[in-house]
């Protein structure tokens, strides 16, 4: 094999499998041990202290306890790191657990109690920041106001691109330039490592709700953050204390899901482009939001390698039309979440973004589509029949 860097499609299949030959296995093994035998007191104690402080287990019997370390989880982390061009990754029991650890490790843990957050954000993230639960003060702002929002006590800048649910794009490199050394976390869930690598653009952390595209089949809840090893130590420290480690069965499913991520993303993105283009012509649709539309700054190509598989639409009939549409679809599942093999539809203002402050909540006329692997003609036929019912709903 040449020394040329491997393509992401190949990395997705082979990453995190370096020890398979020595283990004599072809599929990823699942270690379900909740506790591990210790060779002696001193070795176990030293290893425990290392992991409790965010480090790695000592070799030869140093795993100690699954809250601190699990080899199945570690293999998934290694694989995600390769795809994200990162030194390390840290996996959590959910995307929100990952976000919580990122905030705590960069604010309360280091004596900096201020966060700058670029709206719009996923509703759970927005709610967490706005709730005061983590003891931080938050300044919500637009992308171009990041520098003006930073204070001496600012410990973290949080952004999401493409944003949920409007699919607005944020220039990651421009925010990093404004940050002046303050760590920048990018929620990379919608883009995945196949379409966007925030660390290459200067971000400190790339966070994924791995429940979505990385898992890809709607059967696992997880979060993961790609970052430097120094940042990973701080995140692992929070994870160990709070008990937010990803279960090994979930890690197995995610590692398996990575192998098909490139194929799924390519197919789903092509379908999303086709659906978006056809919906632009529909009289019941006021506006189609898709990252490749109105990209006046050239972020598609320079920052993101394609528009992804999410589409948001504004309906001419407002909330009544949204309700009629979500009630009438047959192939699209009316459900929260996204990124699976089947297509989903949901109304963000009433569901995922309901806890968000009214001034930041998406409009009642917005419906979000997650495009799956179904045939595009079948998806459009379903949307056409459902959209036909929105007109009469809006007239009531």
Rounded Cα gap, residues 391 and 315, in angstroms: 10
3-state secondary structure of 270: helix
Burial 157-191 (b: 16+ CB within 10 A, else e): bbbbbbbbbbbbbbbbbbbbebbeebbbbbbbbbb
Cβ–Cβ < 8 Å for 344, 355: no
Region for 337 from its dihedrals, namely left if φ exceeds 0, alpha if ψ lies in -120 to 50, beta otherwise: left
- Residues facing residue 304 across a β-bridge: 300
Instruction: Please give the helix or strand (H or E) that residue 289 lies within, else none.
Output: strand 285-289
Of 292, 286, 296, the closest CA to residue 363 belongs to 286
Query: With 0-12 CB in 10 A as exposed, 13-18 as middle and 19+ as buried, what is 3?
Result: exposed
Q: Which residues are catalytically annotated?
A: 67, 122, 187, 212
Cβ–Cβ < 8 Å for 77, 250: no
Rounded Cα gap, residues 224 and 235, in angstroms: 10
Of 379, 387, 378, the closest CA to residue 325 belongs to 387
The token pair that represents 296 in the structure block: 């006046």
3-state secondary structure of 224: strand
């Amino acid at each position: 094999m040449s020394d040329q860097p491997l393509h992401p499609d190949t990395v997705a299949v082979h990453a995190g499998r370096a020890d398979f030959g020595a283990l004599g296995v072809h599929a990823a093994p699942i270690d379900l041990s909740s506790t591990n035998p210790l060779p002696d007191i001193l070795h176990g104690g030293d290893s425990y202290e290392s992991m409790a402080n965010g480090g790695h287990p000592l070799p030869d019997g140093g795993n100690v306890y699954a809250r601190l370390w699990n080899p199945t989880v570690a293999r998934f982390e290694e694989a995600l790191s390769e795809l994200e061009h990162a030194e390390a990754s840290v996996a959590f029991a959910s995307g929100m657990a990952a976000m919580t650890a990122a905030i705590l490790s960069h604010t309360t843990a280091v004596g900096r109690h201020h966060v700058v957050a670029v709206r719009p954000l996923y509703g759970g993230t927005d709610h967490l920041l706005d709730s005061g639960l983590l003891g931080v003060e938050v300044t919500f702002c637009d992308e171009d106001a990041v520098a003006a929002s930073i204070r001496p006590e600012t410990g973290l800048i949080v952004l999401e691109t493409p944003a949920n649910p409007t699919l607005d794009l944020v220039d990651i490199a421009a925010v990093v330039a404004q940050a002046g050394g303050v760590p920048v976390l990018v929620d990379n869930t919608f883009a995945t490592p196949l379409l966007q690598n925030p660390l290459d653009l200067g971000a400190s952390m790339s966070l994924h709700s791995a429940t979505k595209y990385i898992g890809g089949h709607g059967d696992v809840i997880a979060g993961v953050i790609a970052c430097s090893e120094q940042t990973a130590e701080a995140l692992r420290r929070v994870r160990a204390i709070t008990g937010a480690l990803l279960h090994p069965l979930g890690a197995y499913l995610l590692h398996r899901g990575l192998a098909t991520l490139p194929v799924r993303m390519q197919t789903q993105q092509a379908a999303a482009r086709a659906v978006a283009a056809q919906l632009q012509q529909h009289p019941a649709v006021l506006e189609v939001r898709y990252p490749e539309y109105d990209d006046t700054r050239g972020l598609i190509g320079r920052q993101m390698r394609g528009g992804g598989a999410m589409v948001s639409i504004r309906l001419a009939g407002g909330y009544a039309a949204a309700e009629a549409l979500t009630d009438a679809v047959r192939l699209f599942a009316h459900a929260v979440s996204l990124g699976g093999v089947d297509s989903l539809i949901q109304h963000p203002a009433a569901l995922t973004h309901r806890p968000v402050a009214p001034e930041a909540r998406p409009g009642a006329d917005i419906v979000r589509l997650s495009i799956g692997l179904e045939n595009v003609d079948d998806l459009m036929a379903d949307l056409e029949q459902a959209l036909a019912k929105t007109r009469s709903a809006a007239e009531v």
